Amino acid sequence: MNHPNEKQPFHQHLSGYAQQAKGTTGLSRIIKAAGYSRDGFLAAYRHEAAFRQVFWLNLILIVLLFFMPFSLLVKMVLLFASIFSLVVELFNTGLEAAIDHTSTKQHPLAKIGKDVGSAAQFLALCLLSVLWLMALFG
């Protein structure tokens, strides 16, 4: 066994399923990572109403974007804002799941964690709204 102060790849400190999942390299790792990402999207969509709402809102906005007479730069900014709000909602969903896994009891720190995730999504949606308003009326 290596000395605790020696540098080792992170996955060598793991055991069981975690070590097996992190131990792959190359194309195998990319394929597994893509599968985990798919699983994450599906879990968020199936189990989180807020994610479904943000998903459908942004899908509509992205489709609408193709028909709007905006410059390429404006379309790129609006597309970024849509994807950004989806990413924030995925983080928020993951944060809520981790907090709920830790304990379903009410705790002030759990409330802060969930509220901060919600606030992040609120800001992302405000950004999306302001950018769309600026594009439409600016």
Position 5 confidence tier, pLDDT thresholds 50, 70, 90: low
Residue 20 lies in a domain: no
| 15 is an annotated ligand-binding site residue | no
The residue-averaged pLDDT of 10-14 equals 57
Q: Which domain holds residue 105?
A: 49-137
* Catalytic pick among 55, 88, 89, 117: 89
User: pLDDT at position 98, please?
Assistant: 95
Residue 77 sits in a domain whose CATH number is 1.10.287.3610
pLDDT tens for 45-98 read 999 999 999 999 999 999 999 999 999 999 999 999 999 999 999 999 999 999
| 17 is an annotated ligand-binding site residue | no
Give the total number of structural domains in the chain. 1
| 85 is an annotated ligand-binding site residue | no
Residue 29 lies in a domain: no
| 96 is an annotated ligand-binding site residue | yes
Residue 53 lies in a domain: yes
User: pLDDT at position 8, please?
Assistant: 55
Residue 55 lies in a domain: yes
- Mean pLDDT, the chain, integer: 90
- Catalytic, 6? Answer no
Q: Whole-angstrom Cα distance, residue 119 to residue 38? A: 26
pLDDT tens for 100-132 read 999 989 999 999 999 999 999 999 999 999 999
Residue 80 lies in a domain: yes
Residue 28 lies in a domain: no
Residue 10 lies in a domain: no
User: pLDDT at position 25, please?
Assistant: 81
Residue 43 lies in a domain: no
Model-wide pTM > 0.85 = no
Q: Whole-angstrom Cα distance, residue 79 to residue 63? A: 10
Q: Are 102 and 110 in contact (CB under 8 A)?
A: yes
